[in-house]
Structure 1
């Protein structure tokens, strides 16, 4: 029997629908556990009709309750984040589905191999970020000193900052950024998103207060249309987040279009997640 055709790492794919079919309907086999994660994250292989891929399976049964996210679950919010990303056309979140697995319902997401050579975050001396970088803030370094934490002035990250503002991401860390060898950028770990209260916490504050790009304004307009009434995006999100959370998405999109600017830290809570990476 011939070996199954292996789906390449995200970046070489052209049809998300085919990948989602594989993830949703394929036979899921657990290969190991990613122990660094705070919730159960299982590294798996999935196979269907001669196609296979590596993926991550996060069962709802392995989630720790969060007092400030009492509604729904992490798995459904991960899928909701993918649906919004897909609606933007920016494809910043790897294909993600909700399915039954060896440990019950959970999210299943295509595994992405990151390019370790690409640097999106750095610590620099002095008080200026330098050309090609955006300042985040000062961070303590070994020895008791401080250095300026910066992120790349990168269009891919800027788009991600807009997506995070829409989905109200409360935990955008550096380790969630996956640049690939073909020049694309993907983002993972979207379980603490979509809260009806403003909880944006991110490393991507470099454009705070800046005018949105024309590209972002156009995409936000598309999202607004998809969220309106019985729009396609609203219908997909309705089964994943609460009505209050869905209304809050509409409100955030409308606010971004009204101001035409990237949001700024509210000052009501720490603006940067800990640990930042």
Structure 2
């Protein structure tokens, strides 16, 4: 259903939300749910605002809105890389509701550890990682155009937490990214595993998408983001798009902010 976003959005917005349990291992409350409307049902996740853990660098109660804003930006750019996501009322109050995407274990791996000094063909280096007994290995990600699109999208979103576990390759060949609560900060906070293209020229496809986003952020997309983000955060997103277009290259890690999330997976 993720490939049919309008149908999925109608179901997520208007369907009856039923909570079946809580997903463990998350910093904030993440509930496993189904949503049903007119005989149609889908699995989804529900993150109520009241279950958000306060963060020193993001205002309280805003993570759900940032998740929805990230979906809106990805959709406006034509990159369907975030599952359909809405902000709505639920059993525990207002929260983010997102269509569940089941990762396909048969898909080719996107991350790997290699016992080598340089990345093997088809892979790009992230950095060295400790693997135990005083040994290190090279952490790499695939040289995959889907990941490259996501790296550009994360630069627009100012994503502070792009971990490997947030990458979901689906059975239909699509790649989805999830967990976008810590995005859209005004100061630069890009923290990601997808540094393999750092400093390289942006592909023509990415430049086209950025030009579209720049125009949309100044118009209809910017208006849709107003209930979800502050005016300063929307302005900062426009500035990031303009900077990417002006520089024409993938961003490089900042010396003022940790470049790689921890834990990376």
TM-score of the two chains, using structure 2 as the length reference: 0.98
Distance 1:59 1:270 in 2: 28
Q: Is 1:161 the equivalent of 2:151?
A: yes
Out of 81, 85, 102, the position equivalent to 1:113 is: 102
1:241–1:102: structure 2 CA closer, same or farther, 3 Å change rule? same
Q: 1:210 aligns with which of 200, 218, 233?
A: 200
Between the aligned partners of 2:217 and 2:172, the Cα distance in structure 1 is 32
Contact 2:52 2:61 in 1 (8 A): no
Following the alignment from structure 2 to structure 1, what is the Cα–Cα distance between the partners of residues 59 and 51?
A: 16
Q: Give the aligned partner of residue 165 of structure 2.
A: 175
Structure 1 CA distance for aligned equivalents of residues 158 and 79 of structure 2: 17
Deviation, 1:227, is 1.1
Return the match for 1:226 from 216, 229, 236. Answer: 216
Q: Aligned residue pairs: how many?
A: 264
* Local SS of the residue matching 2:215: helix
1:239 and 2:227 correspond: yes
Match of 1:45 in 2: 34
Paired position in structure 1 for 2:259 = 271
Provide the rounded CA distance (Å) in 2 between the counterparts of 1:36 and 1:90. 28
SS of residue paired to 2:132: coil
Superposed CA deviations along residues 100-128 of structure 1, whole A, max 9, x for unmatched, are 00000000000000012330000001111
1:100 aligned to 61, 85, 89, which one? 89
- Helix, strand or coil at the partner of 1:101: coil
- Root-mean-square deviation (CA, aligned residues, Å) is 0.9
Superposed displacement of residue 171, structure 1: 0.2
Instruction: Decide whether the 8 Å contact of 1:220 with 1:257 is kept in 2.
Output: yes
1:138 equivalent among 128, 142, 157: 128
SS at 1:136's partner residue? Answer: strand
* Structure 1: gaps (5+ residues): 1-7
* 1:59 is aligned to 2:48: yes
Shift of 1:72: 5.2
TM-score w.r.t. the length of structure 1 is 0.94
Given that 1:42 and 1:56 are in contact with CA atoms closer than 8 Å, whether structure 2 keeps it comes out as: yes
What SS class does the counterpart of residue 252 from structure 1 fall into? helix
Moved over 4 A (4+): none
